Amino acid sequence: MTVALLDCNSFYASCEKVFRPDLVERPVVVLSNNDGCIVAMSREAKNLGIPRGIPLFKARSFLKEKNIEVFSSNYVLYADLSRRVMDLLSSRVPVMEVYSIDEAFLILDHLPALPLPLCRELRDDIQRGIGIPSSVGVAPTKVLAKIAGGIAKKRSDGIFALGDVDAAGAGASPPAFGHEKDIDLVLGETPVEDVWGIASRLAKRLRERGIRTALDLRKVDDAWAKERITLTGLRIVWELRGIPSIVMEEVAPPKKGIMSSKSFGHPVTDLEDLLEAIGDYTARAAAKLRSQESACRLIDIWLTTNRFRESERQYSAGTVVSLAEPTDYLPDLVAAARRGLKSIYKDGYRYKKVAVFLSGIEGMKGLQGDLFRNPDPRKSALMAAVDSMAARYGPGALSCTAMRPSNDWQMRREMLSPLYTTRWDQLPQVRTG
DNA sequence: TCTGGGGTCCTAGGACCC
DNA sequence: TCTGGGGTCCTAGGACCC
């Protein structure tokens, strides 16, 4: 197998630069929801040594001092540019897995083009046509392609291959980057915690056993790995050996749980405000549920105060509401969510966050019982209308809850870029003369 | 004043059944 | 006094990913 991992560089920051040519070489950071933390940085910002995940209030003076451009997160823009990248890839490579908003695995076997020239072309086209820089790692398995991708990011040509990938492809061109010996060299220089699937906790345990690099990990005993790092870990070991063991998810499997949760812009004390927020979050989660043609049986609700404010009284609680039958019908879901919230709400606390989690998810088509035999056409029609309104006016357009004008639970987004690509009224302007 | 929001999979342990 | 063994389902929590 020859698999490529194409990864957009500093994706959110790169998206913000697409319509701002004045920012080309400038350091840019993108904030989390609620303008809380720094979650993405352009290369220039990374080079200044800003830690990822640092709260904005701690970084503020540094950002100002270094004249760094700061953006609130604009997920509508990122999702739209991501879709364009993925569409371009799937038009050239029939077998691929969209792994995250900014990454895709591509199967390069049995294509007319050789792997490396094709990757160069894809990378160039994404840059020229969409304006997003990317890098590509090529290898016999996903885990090795991830490692190759990490090296590609540091190279000026943005491409790195582990093994004889062109020979493995159509067989016509000389090997591009190396043979087995070179794979050993690269793995020997890859710290074990840089392997996909091995994070700090696991890495610490491995290091205690003398396993410090990807090369060490590749050599461990199968039975030992199965027992100590589970089958998930054993698959990583096999992949390091070049044996494909992690499946390609060509079509995204339906979600087994759908979450909607956001911190508030200000502390919230009033039950009515919390109910309004939970209605909004439930509407967002339910829209995702319907978009994958599923229904859910369980709704988890939880709420919490701000754990960082140690001087304040803390309270957090959650509850699960079971529905009589699986449903995707928003009024029923909202009613259940409100019931759950009322059962755990306590007066007198300053709340930071509420969350909705839909689970017990089943496909609508597979549903047994009254719902399937006797779907209520009025309910389906209402939900279709809700979904088309949301497509037009945004995900929070309808939530079965009367929204009051001064809802101060809404998140802060004080440095939001325009919706360049999805709203006519926010298209970039070209000045002439 | 200000600290993100999604997801997946795995294991352990309890309840319950035969 | 003696108090199995195996299976399933559920939940909580840990660990990992972006």
- CA A143 to C1' C17, whole Å: 13
CA distances from A69 to A12, A38, A417 (A): 13, 12, 11
| Closest nucleotide C1' to the C-alpha of A193 | C16
Looking at mean pLDDT, say which of A120-134, A214-228, A250-264 comes out highest.
A120-134
User: Has residue A170 got a pLDDT over 50?
Assistant: no
* Helix-, strand-, coil-residue percentages of chain A, each rounded to 5: 40, 20, 35
Band the pLDDT of A408: cuts 50, 70, 90: low
- The stretch A158-184 carries a mean pLDDT of 66
> Which tokens belong to A46?
């990374």
Band the pLDDT of A85: cuts 50, 70, 90: very high
Nucleic strand C under 7 Å from the C-beta of A203: yes
Q: What is the pTM of this model?
A: 0.91
User: Has residue A184 got a pLDDT over 60?
Assistant: yes
Q: Quick one: pLDDT at residue A406?
A: 57
Q: What is the pLDDT of residues A141-150, one digit of tens each?
A: 999 999 999 9
Nucleic strand C under 7 Å from the C-beta of A234: no
Q: How far apart are CA A121 and CA A415, in angstroms?
A: 35
Q: What is the pLDDT of residues A298-334, one digit of tens each?
A: 999 999 999 888 888 989 888 899 888 889 999 999 9
- The stretch A27-39 carries a mean pLDDT of 94
- CA A323 to C1' C10, whole Å: 17
Q: What is the pLDDT of residues A223-234, one digit of tens each?
A: 999 888 999 999
- % of chain A beyond a pLDDT of 90: 69
Q: How far apart are CA A75 and CA A11, in angstroms?
A: 11
User: Has residue A415 got a pLDDT over 70?
Assistant: yes
Length of chain A, in residues: 433
The residue whose CA lies nearest the C1' of nucleotide B9 is A232
Q: What is the pLDDT of residues A239-295, one digit of tens each?
A: 999 999 999 999 999 999 999 998 998 899 999 999 999 999 999 999 999 999 999
User: Has residue A35 got a pLDDT over 60?
Assistant: yes
- CA A337 to C1' B18, whole Å: 39
Residue A198 DSSP one-character state: -
User: Has residue A424 got a pLDDT over 60?
Assistant: yes
Average pLDDT, chain A: 89
Q: What is the pLDDT of residues A339-378, one digit of tens each?
A: 999 999 999 999 999 999 999 998 876 555 544 445 678 8
- The stretch A31-50 carries a mean pLDDT of 94
Q: Quick one: pLDDT at residue A174?
A: 41
Count of Cβ atoms closer than 10 Å to residue A231 Cβ:
10
Nucleic strand C under 7 Å from the C-beta of A322: no
- The stretch A115-138 carries a mean pLDDT of 97
- CA A232 to C1' B9, whole Å: 8
Beta carbons of A215 and A184 less than 8 angstroms apart: yes
Edge-to-edge strand list for the sheet holding A316-327: A258-268, A351-363, A294-305, A316-327
Q: How far apart are CA A233 and CA A195, in angstroms?
A: 11
Q: How far apart are CA A54 and CA A52, in angstroms?
A: 6
